[in-house]
Structure 1
């Protein structure tokens, strides 16, 4: 009972707090905390794959490093539909339009399945060309291709589970996805060595075994998520009668979701473009870059989680016609994240060398990685500001604004500075591009948010009259 009571004190479901009334800090905390844990589970899964493949062979480890940007790119291309679904579910939930929220969720699942099948098919046939373009060596290319072929065929399950998380978050339930993610990650970690090394009755599949473990665990998680949503006992409910493709509704999903896909795809492409610049330097610099970006991915977990919480709170309060409350939530999140991440940045600045030393025994790599961390660490807080306000933009349905800020930060500030400065002052120019773009991104997001153009969400334009027999949606009505 002691453990259960402590967990209950830390994680509260949407039935225990109201996102549209009362205080701001407590519901935002309880909404965001499970997202932090969910992201940590995802990180644990990535580390487990890296560990087991590292034990298998160096080429397999290099192959998964090449495969990850392609996985990220495929999911980013389709993520707009899940973002749109989350935004609409949040807004309709805040407005008390339960039937509309169900319809939005059901249509999101339908078109997400369609998009994932199409993207998976395209990815399957373009795997080798893409990885070759990325510079995979002759030894690594076959391994990376076999891994990505399995992932592409199973993209439906990976993307479908992400949609489940988004729809539940839009409703305000972040605990259920956390628990399902936990089961999925444990299963993946357990399956990895059996399928990679051929333990027991399993064949020795190598890197393909890691991909199969990932797809299988995500497939099982998706089936659990669908069962939860069809039952409707926790979070938003979906119904078969609402899942017939409604192409009028698809246009609404695309209007909100397409900019979110552009934002995610822009992030994925920026990762790959920066790799081209980094690859011009010696291997020690490439290794240091990898260490730095891994550290950043862990440090920024709270910012990502809180931004998702702000997205949901903004959506529900826009739906409830309470934009001032949404404004307060974004402001509080920006302030807290700036303080927390700045504190984390100070610690990383002070402990840069010991942190780098955890990842490598090469003194040259430690020295370069420590320099990278020190250049960027004191700007961590600005990432918190940008994430908080872009999360609020997305929650209001202004995904184009969020995408524009991201593209500005990555494509017009970070990449050009890295390209030019790297030629003038070496790898330090790349580190400097991260620091400058973090500050510029925060300043632009704050200034844009203060204009107040986010206050009118997309709820009215996206509403469907489910009781009107003349509409296409009535065919599956109550």
Structure 2
């Protein structure tokens, strides 16, 4: 009972703290802690696929190394909608304008549905061509294609849940998405191995018959992910329509408002550019990685997933900073937003540096968890993956610094600045270094590009933040003129 109360004391809802007054560290902690857990659950989807497919075959493991960046690209193309919605909900909530926040959330949901359907169709029909351009081998290409076709069909469910998480976070509720994500991950982990490997149970009783899951291989992993995300989305929509937790949405407010779409685009387009830049960087790097044997491709896929776990605190705190900055800018308290950002940057640098030291000292056991010992070339994949981690681990702290500052830029509505920092770090630093050094240094040149870009990105973000250009707010420009009749009709005035 004492352990349970201690665990629950780490999580507090928005009704238990104020992001715009009082201490800074405590509300930032309670806001970020559930995001850490939520991101951990989010990563569990990818790690579960990586683990089970690693047991299935090396080709399947290499296939998701190609598929994952494409998933990221499709989501990144539409992520500006969710970022814009989160920023507007945060700023309107900070300004105590609940009705405006509800309208922003409702419009965000509607346009997110439209965008995700379009991207899903594009992904389904373009996946084979796209993966072929990346250089997937003849053994890997059909596997990656089948995986991505299933993911593309289910993209509205996957993207829709991310929008739910973003809107609730903008309101200040990070606990509800965490709980919904937990249920979704449990379902995914349970059904993943059954659909990948297949499973048959023949009962003795003649009326029971045979219970079976067909062996679907890499397609089974994709189906498990889409199914569990769809359940999570339905739960999330039910919560937002009821409105008793977090921000509320209303059907009447979902009639597409083109003038509001322009506001979402103005704020969200740079965020989509930022995310797309990251995704393109991952895909362009894959072109370089594909020059090497499949063992290097598999090690690259494992390494990037290990990094995704290490960066969970950075991603979570950055989202917390985004919300705190948004609400404090809405409340006209930029100095408080700046203090929160500086605190987050220092804490993340310390935590991620410690995590990097641990990863640097023990990379082999970490990588080996995702490689089946009975698979061909398993030892080689472990050695290459360990080398990747050793090159990058000691720069983890610098990635935390960059994430803290770009999160504050987004919360202030300065999404173009965050996008510029990302493009400079990935497109001007990481990719060119990898391209130039991969020849003389082999795959080590790719690993080196990660380390250098992490340090340079932190320096750029810090220097840009010190200029103070983030202090402008898009709240006034994004305010919606809702007539009183419409407000009274929805019963939410």
- Whether the TM-score (by the shorter chain) exceeds 0.5 is yes
Displacement after TM superposition at 1:333 (Å): 0.2
Q: State the alpha-carbon separation in 1 of the partners of residues 468 and 131 from structure 2.
A: 43
Q: State the alpha-carbon separation in 1 of the partners of residues 159 and 346 from structure 2.
A: 32
Q: State the alpha-carbon separation in 1 of the partners of residues 359 and 130 from structure 2.
A: 35
TM-score, normalised via structure 2 length: 0.91
1:249 has 2:265 as partner: no
Q: State the alpha-carbon separation in 1 of the partners of residues 369 and 182 from structure 2.
A: 26
Q: State the alpha-carbon separation in 2 of the partners of residues 261 and 474 from structure 1.
A: 35
Question: CA separation of 1:246/1:396 partners in 2, compared to 1, >3 Å: closer, same or farther?
Answer: same
Equivalent residues in 2 for 1:422-441 (5 A)?
Answer: 422-441=438-457
Displacement after TM superposition at 1:295 (Å): 2.5
CA contact (8 A) 2:359 2:393 kept: yes
Equivalent residues in 2 for 1:122-133 (5 A)?
Answer: 122-133=122-133
Q: Secondary structure at the match of 2:448?
A: helix
- CA deviation digits over 1:297-331, x for unaligned, max 9? 21111101100000000000000000000000000
Equivalent residues in 2 for 1:395-474 (5 A)?
Answer: 395-467=411-483
Query: Comparing 293-302 with 138-147, which one deviates more in the overlay?
Result: 138-147
- CA deviation digits over 1:441-474, x for unaligned, max 9? 11111111111111111100000121367xx999
Equivalent residues in 2 for 1:44-443 (5 A)?
Answer: 44-196=44-196, 197-199=198-200, 200-356=211-367, 358-359=369-370, 365-443=381-459
- CA deviation digits over 1:413-455, x for unaligned, max 9? 1111111122333333322222221111111111111111111
- CA deviation digits over 1:215-258, x for unaligned, max 9? 22111111110110011100000011111000000000001111
CA contact (8 A) 1:379 1:439 kept: yes
Q: State the alpha-carbon separation in 2 of the partners of residues 279 and 147 from structure 1.
A: 18
CA contact (8 A) 2:150 2:222 kept: yes
Question: CA separation of 1:143/1:255 partners in 2, compared to 1, >3 Å: closer, same or farther?
Answer: same
- CA deviation digits over 1:95-133, x for unaligned, max 9? 000000000000000100000111111111112211222
CA contact (8 A) 2:172 2:246 kept: yes
Q: State the alpha-carbon separation in 2 of the partners of residues 438 and 432 from structure 1.
A: 10
Q: State the alpha-carbon separation in 2 of the partners of residues 67 and 183 from structure 1.
A: 25
Question: CA separation of 1:338/1:66 partners in 2, compared to 1, >3 Å: closer, same or farther?
Answer: same
Q: State the alpha-carbon separation in 2 of the partners of residues 63 and 30 from structure 1.
A: 38
CA contact (8 A) 1:198 1:205 kept: no
Displacement after TM superposition at 1:47 (Å): 2.2
CA contact (8 A) 1:102 1:239 kept: yes
Question: CA separation of 1:427/1:144 partners in 2, compared to 1, >3 Å: closer, same or farther?
Answer: closer
Name the residue aligned to 2:206: none
**Structure 2 stretches of 5 or more lacking a match?**
201-210
Question: CA separation of 1:417/1:269 partners in 2, compared to 1, >3 Å: closer, same or farther?
Answer: same
Question: CA separation of 1:391/1:273 partners in 2, compared to 1, >3 Å: closer, same or farther?
Answer: same
CA contact (8 A) 2:82 2:112 kept: yes
Q: State the alpha-carbon separation in 2 of the partners of residues 58 and 373 from structure 1.
A: 20
Question: CA separation of 1:429/1:473 partners in 2, compared to 1, >3 Å: closer, same or farther?
Answer: farther
RMSD: 2.2
Query: Comparing 287-296 with 76-85, which one deviates more in the overlay?
Result: 287-296
Displacement after TM superposition at 1:192 (Å): 2.1
CA contact (8 A) 1:466 1:474 kept: no
CA contact (8 A) 1:467 1:474 kept: no
Q: State the alpha-carbon separation in 2 of the partners of residues 61 and 35 from structure 1.
A: 28
Displacement after TM superposition at 1:69 (Å): 1.7
TM-score, normalised via structure 1 length: 0.94
- CA deviation digits over 1:145-187, x for unaligned, max 9? 2322222111111100000000000001111000000101111
Query: Comparing 327-336 with 359-368, which one deviates more in the overlay?
Result: 359-368
Displacement after TM superposition at 1:290 (Å): 3.4
Count of aligned residue pairs for this structure pair: 476
Name the residue aligned to 2:204: none
Query: Comparing 285-294 with 30-39, which one deviates more in the overlay?
Result: 285-294
